[in-house]
Structure formats: C-alpha cells, structure tokens
C-alpha cells in the first residue's frame, strides 16, 4: 500500500469504528451485518484470483463498502428502490434501510467525518492505486 492508500484506509477505519454504535441498538448488530454482507461479496469477487492482484485485504474492502454505503444513504436517502435489489449489492439497500431507521444515531456518530469524501470512496483506489491513477488521467483528458 502506498501513502495515499494508507490515508484512505485510515479514514475508512476511523469511520467504521464510529459506526460501532449500530451494533448496540437492539439484538441485530447492523454494522457487523453490513460488514459480513460486503465481506461475502468481496470473497466472491476475488474467487480464483491471486492475492497479488489486490493491494487491500478483503476486510479492508468490506469496511470500505460498509462506510461508503452508509455515507451515500445519508446524503441521498432515496437512492435505491425495491426494484434495484436485483442490480445492486444487497448491502447498499440494507444500508439505506439502516439509515432510514437510525439516521440520528448515525449522523451523531459520523458528525466529524466528511460524508462526501466517504460516499465517493473508490474501490480501485484502495485495491490498485496505479490503475486508479490511469483511470483518473483518462477521465481528465
């Protein structure tokens, strides 16, 4: 991991830690549920691919999607509809539901975080920064 990726990971870990409040609402540990969903998806995504293809761990990516989906839902609570269930990660819809039900708690937990930054986290930047930079150069050109 390079310096930029370490900074991304640090910010993800910080926000993810603050979301621990979602584990103490009732009998369902929502943050852990989201993490487990994202971890399962990431394992499926990496199936039969060498670990050297990825600069970030499965757990790091699962945390990233957990934080990203929560931040996206805070900024746009109507982003997904039931019809989207068949074309987006189930964790994205689950995140939106958690935000709709516990928005006040989440806003309080993430009050010192940059939600726009978190909602714009890029998977490629985390797993392969060189590819991310090439992608950004093409976008600018």
Domains of the chain by residue range: 3-140
In this prediction, residues 109-131 reach a mean pLDDT of: 94
pLDDT at 82: 85
- The two tokens of residue 19 are 């979301």
The whole-number pLDDT of residue 115 equals 97
- Taking the C-alpha atoms of residue 40 and residue 31, their distance in angstroms, rounded to an integer, is 14
pLDDT at 104 over 80: yes
Asked if 98 contacts 91 with a C-beta cutoff of 8 angstroms, the reply is no
CB count in 10 Å sphere of residue 70 = 29
SS3 57: coil
Note whether 67 and 92 are within 8 A (CB). Answer: no
pLDDT above 70: residue 89 = yes
* E strand residue ranges, 1-124: none
Beta carbons of 31 and 20 less than 8 angstroms apart:
yes
pLDDT at 85: 87
Evaluate if residue 19 carries a pLDDT over 90. yes
Confidence of residue 27 (pLDDT cuts 50, 70, 90): very high
Three-state DSSP state, 113: coil
pLDDT value, residue 141: 65
> Which of 47, 83, 85, 42 minimizes the C-alpha distance to 66?
42
Mean of the per-residue pLDDT values for the chain? Answer: 92
Tokens for 130, please give them.
């060189």
């Amino acid at each position: 991991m390079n310096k930029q990726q370490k900074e991304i990971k640090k910010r993800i870990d910080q926000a993810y830690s603050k979301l621990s409040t979602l584990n103490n609402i009732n009998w369902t540990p929502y943050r852990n549920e989201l993490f487990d969903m994202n971890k399962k998806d990431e394992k499926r995504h990496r199936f039969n691919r060498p670990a050297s293809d990825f600069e970030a761990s499965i757990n790091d990516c699962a945390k990233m999607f957990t934080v990203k989906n929560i931040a996206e839902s805070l900024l746009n609570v109507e982003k997904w509809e039931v019809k989207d269930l068949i074309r987006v990660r189930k964790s994205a819809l689950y995140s939106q539901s958690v935000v709709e039900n516990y928005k006040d708690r989440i806003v309080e937990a993430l009050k010192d975080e940059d939600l726009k930054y978190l909602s714009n986290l890029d998977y490629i930047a985390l797993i392969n920064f060189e590819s991310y930079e090439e992608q950004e150069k093409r976008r600018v050109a």
